[in-house]
Structure 1
Amino acid sequence: MNEHHDTATTKAGPVTVIGLGPMGQAMTRTLLAAGHPVTVYNRTAARADGVVADGAALAATPRDAVEASELVVLSLTDYQAMYDLLDGATASLTGRTLVNLSSDTPDRSRQAAAWASGHDASFLTGGVMVPAPMVGTPASHIYFSGPHEVMDRHSPTLALLGTPRYLGDDPGLAQMMYQAQLTVFLAGLSALMHATAMLGTAGLKATEALPELLAFADSIGDILRAGEQTPGTALDAGEHPGHLSTVTMMGATADHIVETTASLGLDLALPRAIQAHYRHAIANGHGNDNWTRIIDSVRRPQ
């Protein structure tokens, strides 16, 4: 067992955190609370004041930060920020593991893994699926992808931040899952605001509307899991049985939402985007299929 392996798996092994937005600060405090010596770096050094007061060591340069630990966790705006910070420290990357928890595209994650490998460093992609206040709590989970042996080596430390859900060797997989999850999340937030605006035109305050809307949002998972065949099973089998919610029925509802939104003078972008999926399926002769048929227009946009 080499020295790096010992350090990474020892409870008190040092960890470097680069990027001290709310997420980076939360991760730093979680690691400190677990007994890890933590070195931090942020372009705006003042952002480190709080975690330094809690026991973290502030590195003067990115190179110093990298050299302080074998395990380097990055929480930045995007992957370009990693290059901007570490391009002057590449000589120090040899033998270290970079865990990039920043948001970007799957392709950029794969490119970053190749870049790290070119500097004799290991690379894990991660996607944190909770907001900063939940980091380190039982509700926290993080998707990871990259070399299996690297994940195994650092899993005990990374598990402190959130339950690790390892997806495979492809460095782009965790980023893909992160983006997919955020697609649902962001679309849901936009839908909630759209619906709240609709109800607001009828005199309902947000404090009255949102509890009803959120209760329905909470029930969507139960609705989709009900019955003998879940949407996932049907989609994997390429089947779209239309005995319940057909494209035509759901499409009519989408039309009504567009009409209502227009009559209220609200933004039409979201309802029209939804309407377009159903119209595409109907135009292609799938009106009697299940609503899941709309995946065709996502897979093959016209």
Structure 2
Amino acid sequence: MQHSETETESQTGIEAGTGSVTVLGLGPMGRALASAFLDAGLRTTVWNRTPGRDRELVARGARGAASAAEAVTASELTVVCVVNYGAVEGILRDGPVADALKGRTVVNLSSGAPEGARGTADWAAAHGIRFLDGAIMTPTTTIGTPAGVFLYAGPEDLYREHRPVLDALNGTHTHLGEEIGRAAAYDIALLDIFWTASAGFAHALAVARAEGITGRELTPYAQGIAAILPPIFEGWAANLDDGDFSGEDNPLTSAVSSMAHIAETSEAHGIDASLMRAVEAGARRTVELGHGTDGFHRIAEVLGRD
């Protein structure tokens, strides 16, 4: 993934005992964020709609707020990490919370669609609340370590203002631009890769087991497949951007044949092949449109047509 000029490895600029932050939402990721802020020595206030999830954090020195309004009043910066933008708005649009946030900054690290980010940002602006949207691209275990990856979108001056606190999370932080939906758009596209690939691997395991191959036997070869994908992805992406759809090495007609073999083998074992059949159908449609000699990345262009 290309990164903007504002990407840097985190070097926490907060001295122990200085700076403060509020975390709303104490699911696994929210707790990891609050824990990293505590480890960095920030005065950390936490709140969760369901009581009790703050016990361990409070025992470590966090302040547990009785309400979301009380929590946001404690800090100039509030980080929200809940299930989706609907949940974000359900918390922030509460009258006392919105009033308490006026003039303060919210950084949303919840996941959701780009339109959710844009709608929340519009609401925040109308209520005098400064808003950055963000996405976390790595698991909870990476939070507070150099392996964490954080993406942000929104006013760059606001991002720079709060970098010292955000840097307490360690990892890599990238500002993607001022269009507020951009971090969510990256998030959705990258999660699309992750879950589609994960679904493919789960299906492959099912087919392999049906043929008497264990998961441990298959995995080294699956890792080999995964290792060849980065340069393939890079080539497809560059060719798509350049309008080059050459499929000289592996035309779509060949790919369709391979997909059919996978689906037929799956179905012979009674394994649901709907995922592969859907991919096959998209490839066949692309061939029928006259692109049979093109590469697989032509499908992205066809999918994006009106």
Give the TM-score of the pair, scaled to structure 2. Answer: 0.91
Offset at 1:250?
1.1
In structure 1, which of residues 79, 85, 88 is the aligned counterpart of residue 85 of structure 2? Answer: 79
Q: Using the alignment, how far apart are the partners of 2:286 and 2:29 within structure 1?
A: 41
Picking from 135, 139, 142, the partner of 1:127 is 135
Report the counterpart of residue 49 of structure 1 in structure 2. 55
1:186 is aligned to: 195
Report the alpha carbon displacement of residue 72 of structure 1 after superposing the two structures with TM.
Answer: 0.2
Task: Using the TM superposition, give the Cα deviation of residue 242 of structure 1 relative to its aligned residue in structure 2, in angstroms.
Answer: 2.3
After superposition, give the CA deviation of every residue in 1:219-256 in whole Å (9 maximum; x if it has no partner).
3113444xxxx222211111111221111111111111
Other-structure match for 2:114: 106
Mapped partners of 2:250, 2:175: distance in 1: 35
Question: Which of 172, 176, 179 is the matching residue for 1:167?
Answer: 176
% identical aligned pairs: 37
Whole-angstrom CA distance in 2 between matches of 1:70 and 1:224:
41
- Separation of aligned partners in 1, 2:136 and 2:247: 37
**Is 1:140 aligned to residue 148 of structure 2?**
yes
Structure 2 CA distance for partners of 1:45 and 1:133, relative to 1, 3 Å: same
Structure 2 residue identity aligned to 1:270: L
1:198 counterpart letter in structure 2: V
Equivalent residue number for residue 5 of structure 1: none
Please say which of residues 215-224 and 167-176 is displaced more in the overlay.
215-224
Say whether 1:62 aligns with 2:68: yes
- Which residue of the partner structure matches residue 4 of structure 1? none
* Cross-structure match for 2:10: none
2:302 corresponds to 1:297: yes
**Structure 2, unaligned stretches of length 5 or more?**
1-12
C-alpha deviation, 1:177, in angstroms? 0.2
8 A contact 1:251–1:279 mirrored in 2: yes
Take 1:197 and 1:282, find their aligned partners in 2: how far apart are those partners? Answer: 29
Q: Quick one: which of 221, 234, 237 aligns to 2:239?
A: 234
The equivalent of 2:262 in structure 1 is 257
Root-mean-square deviation over aligned CA pairs:
1.5
**1:199 aligned residue (193, 208, 215):** 208
Q: Could you tell me whether the CA contact under 8 Å between 1:281 and 1:296 is conserved in 2? A: no
| In 2: Cα distance, 1:120 partner to 1:134 partner | 33
Instruction: Find the counterpart in structure 1 of residue 3 from structure 2.
Output: none
Inter-partner Cα distance in structure 1 for 2:164 and 2:225: 37
Residue number in structure 2 paired with 1:216: 225
What residue identity is the alignment partner of 2:193?
Answer: V
Q: Secondary structure at the match of 1:159?
A: helix
* Alignment pair present for 1:94 and 2:69: no
Residue 278 (str. 1) matches residue 265 (str. 2): no
Q: Does 183-192 or 233-242 show the bigger shift?
A: 233-242
Instruction: Please report the TM-score for the alignment, with normalisation by the length of structure 1.
Output: 0.92
Partner of 1:152: 160
2: CA distance, partners of 1:299 / 1:223:
20
CA distance in 1, matches of 2:110, 2:194: 17
Q: CA deviation at 1:18?
A: 0.4
Question: Does the residue aligned with 2:174 lie in a helix, a strand or coil?
Answer: strand
SS of the equivalent of 1:124 reads strand
The Cα offsets for residues 133-152 of structure 1, whole Å up to 9 and x where unpaired, read as: 11121111111001111011
Task: Provide the rounded CA distance (Å) in 2 between the counterparts of 1:85 and 1:65.
Answer: 12
Greater relative contact order (Cα < 8 A, sep 6+): 2
CA distance in 2, matches of 1:66, 1:233: 44
SS in 2 for 1:133: helix
- Deviation per residue, 1:54-73 (Å, 9 max, x gap): 11100000100010001000
d(CA) in 2 for partners of 1:91, 1:233: 47
Paired residue type of 2:90: D
